[in-house]
Amino acid sequence: MDLKLAPDDTRLKTVTQYPLRVLLYSHDSVGLGHLRRNLAIASEITTQFENASVMIVTGSSCATQFVLPRNTDLIKIPTITKNDTGDYVTDSFGGVLQVTLAFRSKMILEAYRSFEPDLVIVDHQLTGLKGEAMAMLREARTRKTLLFFGMRDVKDGAEAVRRAWDNADSRWALNDCYDQVCVYGMQEVFDPREVYAPLLDGVKRCDFTGFIVRPEKPVATRQAQRARKKVLVIFGGGGDGAQRAEQYLQALANTTAHWDSLIVTGPMMDPGVIHRLTDKAQKIQPLSSVKIKRFHRNIPRLLRKVDAVVSMAGYNSCAEILQSGVPAVLLPRSFPREEQLIRAMRMAQLGWVSAMPQANPDPEYIFDAVERALESSRTGSLQADLNGLNNLSRIIIDHLQLTGQREAQPPAEQAIECLA
């Protein structure tokens, strides 16, 4: 294996003659966050490692709606989602969850065996959804495949995480299985090693990458002066965004807004809910000031063309908001996990956003918060690190270098040269 870093202006670009293979697994039950993060990682890997191939294994029902990066393929495993009470459910195999999980587990293992990756990155769930990735992890460990665990900055409240990880399989995964834990965030913002202590005390290596967000090409920026300002309203995948969408429309119905709104519901919002929201939007004054769109392939580009954004507080949405610099009002959910609430309040403490933690905020408060956002420019006490993809590449290079040194010890032409 010969790995070198080729010169490039702002981004590190690697050239390898070795056909690096990377398998990215995410369980994907609610929302698009895990899949979109893995798509960004796939794009980074196939850019930095020119001969790399990536295989994404996902349970997302929306997997086919995205354009895949070059040299990237996707395996869609049967979808498992959550119902209104937070329980996992499926429409596959007659709705029998255990049968679906067993089938998914076999597909994950066979994907690993057929693809024969050099690196596996598991997203969010240590051993896969309800342990569905354990068979793959055990075999990969036996074959000495490089194993990474990628976790977003906030997983959930501390007690909930301790309950989820307080078992033999999770301890084995953290302490004996994974070569690397990558926290997709900033230590200064949220440090899971401290909040979830002592769960991560025994990991082999843990690094903070910064936020995982795709670099955006320059586009026409928002206009400083226009007759009516524009507000973008987003709900991630949309599966749990109905309540927040209703609250936003109620805020507009009570008082005439001096801005136009584009609401992107997300492809996972129930069509009946979207129809009801559309009916309400058409009655808001002034007429045609609120437009509703089910899906948009490039939210980051939209963010650069508006004056403010109203959003839930999912990981990807927040990272893209930070990247755009647009003033934001966050309406986080607190069920079935506290993740969004914790993230939103921490970002508000840093002065990056305005956040409304109430489950049912007064519509007037939402209206006033949007007005303030439209008149403000974002400031903060801490600079957001948005170089997560680049930093992840460096971590991969570092491990490949160590692997090469262990396996090659020898002829100089087989050693890995790394210019970090």
What CA–CA distance (Å, rounded) separates 366 from 216?
Answer: 29
Rg (CA), the chain: 22
Write down the CATH superfamily of domain 3-213+386-414: Glycogen Phosphorylase B; (3.40.50.2000)
Sheet holding 259-264, edge to edge: 290-293, 259-264, 229-234, 308-311, 328-330, 354-355
**Segment 408-417 mean pLDDT:** 36
Q: What percent of the chain has pLDDT over 70?
A: 89
The two tokens of residue 318 are 């927040």
Widest distance between CA atoms in the chain: 74
Distances (CA, A) of 130 to 90, 127, 144, 297, 393: 14, 7, 24, 30, 29
Amino acid occupying residue 417: E
What CA–CA distance (Å, rounded) separates 26 from 32?
Answer: 10
Q: What is the pLDDT of residues 91-132, one digit of tens each?
A: 999 999 999 999 999 999 999 999 999 999 999 999 999 999
Helices (H) and strands (E) in the chain, counts: 13, 17
Residue in the structure block whose two tokens are 């959910």? 333
Q: What is the pLDDT of residues 273-318, one digit of tens each?
A: 999 999 999 999 888 899 999 998 889 999 999 999 999 999 999 9
Angle at 183 between CA 304 and CA 269, to 5 degrees: 50
Measured from the Cβ of residue 18, the count of other Cβ atoms closer than 10 Å reads: 15
Q: What is the pLDDT of residues 376-392, one digit of tens each?
A: 876 676 899 999 999 99
Chain-centre distance for alpha carbon 44? 14
Distances (CA, A) of 350 to 72, 90, 107, 378, 382: 37, 39, 43, 11, 7
Q: How confident is the model at residue 225 (pLDDT cuts 50, 70, 90)?
A: low
DSSP 411: -
DSSP per-residue codes, 318-363 = HHHHHHHT--EEE----SS-SHHHHHHHHHHHTTS-EE---SS--H
Within 8 A by CB and 6+ apart from 335, the residues are: 86
Write down the CATH superfamily of domain 229-374: Glycogen Phosphorylase B; (3.40.50.2000)
Q: What is the pLDDT of residues 136-169, one digit of tens each?
A: 999 999 999 999 999 999 999 999 999 999 999 9
What CA–CA distance (Å, rounded) separates 362 from 367?
Answer: 9
pTM tops 0.85, yes or no: yes
Q: How confident is the model at residue 417 (pLDDT cuts 50, 70, 90)?
A: very low
Q: What is the pLDDT of residues 169-184, one digit of tens each?
A: 999 999 999 999 999 9
H-run or E-run covering 207: strand 206-208
Cα end-to-end span (Å), the chain: 17
pLDDT value at position 404?
64
What CA–CA distance (Å, rounded) separates 133 from 62?
Answer: 21
Q: What percent of the chain has pLDDT over 90?
A: 73
User: Which of residues 203 and 82 earns the better pLDDT score?
Assistant: 203
Q: How confident is the model at residue 371 (pLDDT cuts 50, 70, 90)?
A: very high
Phi and psi torsions of 252, nearest 5°: -75, -30
pLDDT value at position 407?
52
Indicate where the chain has its CATH 3.40.50.2000 domain(s).
Answer: 3-213+386-414, 229-374
pLDDT value at position 11?
41
Q: What is the pLDDT of residues 187-214, one digit of tens each?
A: 999 999 999 999 999 999 999 999 999 9
pLDDT value at position 18?
65
